[in-house]
């Protein structure tokens, strides 16, 4: 198949999933055309059968905001015609499903099937805002196929956006060959020279991730056992988090390493992931940690209960920092860390391997293409 993929190229789960999907599809013989404002972060290199088409959105003094959505729709049509795309697969409803819809309409009478994958905040946060709700609803209804990354997200979408919509659940995934534990003594030594337990948080540091809670939980943990915390990622909450770290006097134990292209080498030296999100439709960061044999302490929200089981970690109410700290200490010092590690890897590979999930996308693509125009 010739597949067009659009996603946010910045640091965020939807861009990671879209990039990995494109990479895996190309490995399986499909040709993938990324259409985006810049090369997605995690794509790094293009490789065989993967192409990138940059959206140029011209600015003009009259515009208060550059109409990127329109430039994107235009580029989608250009690529679809030039490369004979079989379908467009857009990630994150806002505004990509609308640009995809415009592209499809511009292509008529040829039908260019449009699939939208919902990732989370496009439904649970941004899409619910009255300024975007009707257009998000429209984008979902107009798509030829819609997928959601967890059962939770499917239910939330049916409840609040479109009760009669047909939404397929296709969960986040990892390539088990690439996302696996390869312990580097050198990296471990850099952060935990005295054998401290290594806790980790990985996110885009947006308010929804409750980065403050990560610091508070870690502060309680480090009072009980020798421990360090690695903070991977970047975003608006980073400076507030760094301020709190200084206030608590734990700066020497907390490392902000910024955005990383390859997270596996860091996750592989860690003992526990903290993910105290306000809402989390799936929790790709937790899955990546699990694939590297790292158990998870998180909040019992959204799709996290579908991913994190009692064998692979523990879930707590949002804001329950004491509970999360206690849970973390039990996992780290209860003598079962190796058991947790093995269960994490096993669950990640058995349930969320790209070998199982990519065919679900392929089947869905064929189904939507065969269905034709509605």
Min. distance of Cβ 295 from ligand GMT in angstroms? 18
Judged by beta carbon, residue 220 or residue 260, the one nearer ligand GMT is: 260
DSSP state of 257: E
Nearer to ligand GMT among residue 167 and residue 332 (C-beta): 167
To the nearest whole angstrom, how small is the minimum distance from the Cβ of residue 294 to ligand GMT? 16
Kindly tell me which of 221 and 273 has the beta carbon lying closer to ligand GMT: 273
Query: C-beta of 135: minimal distance to ligand GMT in Å?
Result: 17
39 exposed, middle or buried (CB, 10 Å; 0-12, 13-18, 19+)? Answer: middle
Q: Are 50 and 26 in contact (CB under 8 A)?
A: yes
Q: How far apart, in Å, are the Cα atoms of 263 and each of 11, 33, 67, 257?
A: 12, 25, 34, 11
Q: Which residues bind ligand GMT (CB under 6 A)?
A: 12-15, 17, 92, 119-121, 149, 172, 204, 208, 277, 279-284
User: Taking the complex as a whole, how short is the minimal distance between the CB of residue 204 and ligand GMT, in angstroms?
Assistant: 6
Return the closest-CA partner of residue 362 out of 99, 148, 170: 170
Of 42, 52, 76, 17, the C-alpha closest to 361 is: 17
Hey, what are 167's tokens?
A: 């939404």
Q: How far is the CB of 285 from ligand GMT (least distance, A)?
A: 7
Write phi, then psi, for 120 (nearest 5 degrees). Answer: 155, -85
Peptide bond connecting 109 to the previous residue in cis, omega within 30 degrees of 0? yes
Distance in Å, CB of 9 to ligand GMT, minimum = 11
Closest by Cα among 58, 60, 63, 92 to 75? 58
Cβ proximity to ligand GMT: between 307 and 332 the closer is 307
Q: Which is nearer to ligand GMT, 267 or 332 (CB)?
A: 267
Cβ closest to ligand GMT, residue 32 vs residue 307: 307
- List the one residue out of 270, 180, 187 whose CA is nearest residue 231: 270
Please answer whether residues 32 and 25 qualify as being in contact, where contact means their C-beta atoms are separated by less than 8 angstroms.
yes
Q: From the CB of 298, what's the least distance to ligand GMT, in Å?
A: 11
User: ∠ CA 295-298-303 to the nearest 5 degrees?
Assistant: 105
Positive or negative torsion for Cα 77, 78, 84, 85: negative
Q: Which residues pair with 148 in a beta bridge?
A: 118, 169
Nearer to ligand GMT, 191 or 352 (CB): 352
The residue (of 121 and 142) whose beta carbon lies closer to ligand GMT is: 121
CB of 50 to ligand GMT, least distance (A): 20
């Amino acid at each position: 198949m010739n597949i067009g993929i659009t996603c946010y190229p910045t640091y965020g789960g939807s861009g990671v999933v879209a990039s990995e999907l494109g990479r895996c599809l190309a490995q399986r013989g499909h040709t993938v055309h990324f259409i985006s404002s810049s090369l997605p972060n995690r794509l790094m290199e293009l490789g065989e059968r993967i192409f990138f088409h940059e959206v140029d959105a011209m600015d003009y003094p009259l515009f208060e905001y550059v109409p990127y959505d329109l430039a994107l729709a235009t580029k989608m049509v250009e690529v679809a015609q030039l490369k004979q795309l079989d379908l467009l697969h857009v990630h994150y409803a806002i505004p990509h499903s609308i640009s995809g819809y415009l592209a499809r309409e511009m292509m008529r009478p040829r039908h260019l099937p449009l699939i939208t994958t919902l990732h989370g905040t496009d439904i649970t946060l941004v899409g619910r805002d009255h300024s975007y709700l009707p257009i998000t609803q429209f984008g979902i209804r107009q798509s030829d196929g819609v997928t959601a990354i967890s059962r939770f997200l499917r239910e939330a979408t049916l409840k609040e956006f479109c009760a009669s919509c047909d939404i397929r659940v296709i969960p986040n995934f990892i390539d088990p060959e690439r996302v696996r534990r390869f312990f580097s003594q050198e990296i471990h030594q850099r952060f935990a020279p005295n054998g401290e337990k290594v806790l980790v948080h990985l996110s885009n540091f947006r308010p929804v991730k409750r980065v403050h809670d990560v610091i508070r939980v870690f502060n309680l943990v480090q009072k009980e056992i020798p421990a360090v915390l690695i903070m991977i990622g970047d975003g608006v909450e980073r400076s507030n988090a760094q301020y709190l770290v200084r206030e608590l006097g734990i700066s020497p134990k907390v490392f902000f390493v910024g955005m990383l292209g390859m997270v596996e080498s860091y996750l592989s030296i860690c003992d526990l992931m903290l993910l105290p999100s306000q809402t989390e439709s799936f929790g790709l960061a937790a899955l990546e940690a699990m694939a590297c044999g790292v158990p998870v302490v998180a909040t019992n929200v959204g799709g996290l209960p579908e991913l994190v089981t009692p064998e692979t970690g523990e879930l707590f109410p949002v804001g329950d920092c004491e509970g999360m700290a206690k849970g973390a200490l039990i996992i780290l010092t209860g003598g079962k860390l190796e058991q947790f590690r093995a269960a994490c890897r096993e669950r990640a590979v058995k349930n969320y391997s790209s070998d199982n999930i990519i065919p679900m996308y392929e089947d869905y693509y064929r189904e939507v293409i065969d269905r034709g125009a509605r």
